[in-house]
Structure 1
């Protein structure tokens, strides 16, 4: 007879033993004071500074965004009341979809309750409706993209990370008459590296492939008006379908798709992940709409974000603390050991009131465990210096290895070859 309780207890024991077990830090963000948050510590509540939030621009506490959500709740209540097809389409959804389509210069937009659902829905529809379709997927794509493609049972060919030459090789070997979808991300969340988007798009178009790009970690933070990395690099017109999220640069929640109207309509009409789920709450749509509009008008938040990120990276490099990449606003500090990574994070929180979540397998490969630091405009330069000093102190205490500081201050730190596929959408 199977002892189900003992079976699962053993599974949990295994991941605790190898350092994979994830612990939740119980906090409350303090609106108007973030990155300060209240940590519900075993000895009682205390204030800490959060360094791992995906609210990259601090828009989750912007007074106008908060006010928009409050007004919507007073007008429409807290939920949509159904799926988009059955009583759940609010006027604010329609306005938000028009806004994001206009932002990206596309014909149509569609909103979802999560960004994960976007990837699942879109890639699922492409895989099931296009006869004989072949997916060409970057090896480090997000889990939601990988699982969305796998579920269709369509053929999937993997190209080396950010490698246009390998993509060219794979596309050249494929039947020229079958439908093809090239899928990749603009910024990879665990390494913080940036895809060579113009080159990848050019290769895809030479072979008449549909280009699908996950811009979750760039919309709001890059490009004119926050239109993302494709817009910043001048290849937005080569991206057929663009996935974005409101949960990062826009500081709210939910995801979206923009692209050609017939394809977006097909997703709306055929995707179970869209049809059979609750519509985004109208209050959330109102907050997202306000955030998108504010960031289309203002560059200040983006300028400050990149200033703070550069300050963090340069101070870490001066201290010889290894970074996985320095290409974007995401700052991954390479530790390389699951237990030491957790110890580093625990000491930072306990002794220095700085919260940085350890990232381990399966989010990153074993041996590349890290702290993923997300500086933002609401982190002051003084707070940045305090945090880096705290990391520097604990790094010494744990005897972690250092690397030579770059001569120019613009080096890339260490560059392991990880296989990173996770992160919140």
Structure 2
């Protein structure tokens, strides 16, 4: 007890922070913390209870705890006694990681693949290897932050094009020359789908390469869950595919594909691959088993698609503006951070839990609550979500959200033009 009392009474001291850091925090963060957020971290709401409807994760096909995956993890933990923790670039062809990489490559229809610590590091490491200061990188305005950071790591000139706008991409590429085009297959905040064939026509017209991040379509789209590229029959025209393995794969890793001829070049140039330790045996075994599970999950994919259509139709009929997406990711874009926090609180008070996305994940005035659907949602859970959305609609007034007003203005403009 005496030791505990001394610990509780201890005063920890730090040397003074640099004045420039203090000034930056005072200028850029303090007003947001004390004013906009009211002294509470914007991403932290209430704790879900035992009957909460959880729509804040990414396990779209509900594979967490699958017996085959758990069995593979347990076997690896209990039998992997020769494992050495080291950088992945040291792993030989016989290592289990190579079998996982080839399994992933075969799944999406590519020649070779590289497993990384996360989807973020996969995108950074790949772009660092395929772009440089003389390679323009063209990014959709809604491309994941890791893709923008990859362009930065490559010291490449980065050019943004309007979301899903191939004509705008064509215009910018005509001005700045061939390079690397970067898109998400399904965008992580709104659930919108990339018009991939239109993008490829522009890429090929300008003699360029394309990187497609399949994080939110791997497992959920395409034959055997091979992704959007496979679903559209465009895999052979796509240069590089990347994905987080923390979505449908429900793990903690990422990967990207590349031609086999690039293997040792990438292992010599991709910093996340060089300077990060490899995955642990149970992680490798679990991910390998998950690939097998997801390839056979046609029933889960069909159910997820049906749930997605139902929920989107229901919410749209209530006045929620969901016009910017079509897939299992649903964006309730309230706009300002205070309005989004209020929306979150109204949902959570009634047992529905999503996730707030705000700057830097979105632009400063387009904050949203993201709901992510999964194939294991029960009829009771879906009905509860619908009932809650109906109950709070007169309170949060989704038809008055900025994105709803913009959609009406655009629709009126199109009617006039027609």
In structure 2, stretches of 5+ residues that fail to align are 1-15, 401-405, 411-418
The root-mean-square deviation of aligned C-alpha atoms, in Å, is: 2.9
Cross-structure match for 1:103: 107
TM-fit CA distance, 1:332: 1.0
Alignment of 1:279-294 (within 5 A): 279-294=278-293
SS in 2 for 1:285: helix
Alignment of 1:19-418 (within 5 A): 19=37, 21-24=41-44, 39=48, 46-76=50-80, 81-86=85-90, 91-128=95-132, 132-175=134-177, 180-349=179-348, 351-398=349-396, 400-402=397-399, 414=407
Specify which structure has the higher proportion of helix: 2
Higher CA-based Rg: 2
Aligned residues: 387
SS in 2 for 1:184: strand
SS in 2 for 1:182: strand
**Gap change, CA 1:358 and 1:90, over 3 Å in 2:** farther
TM-fit CA distance, 1:237: 0.7
Q: Note if contact 2:43-2:356 (Cα within 8 Å) is conserved in structure 1.
A: no
Pick which of 105-114 and 294-303 moved more.
294-303
**Gap change, CA 1:364 and 1:291, over 3 Å in 2:** same
TM-score where L is the length of structure 2: 0.84
TM-score where L is the length of structure 1: 0.83
In structure 1, stretches of 5+ residues that fail to align are 28-38, 40-44, 404-412, 418-425
d(CA) in 1 for partners of 2:56, 2:409: 21
Q: Note if contact 2:45-2:344 (Cα within 8 Å) is conserved in structure 1.
A: no
Instruction: Report Cα offsets for 1:110-157 as digits up to 9, x if no partner.
Output: 1001000011101011123xx832222222211111111123222223
Q: Note if contact 1:108-1:260 (Cα within 8 Å) is conserved in structure 2.
A: yes
d(CA) in 2 for partners of 1:26, 1:370: 17
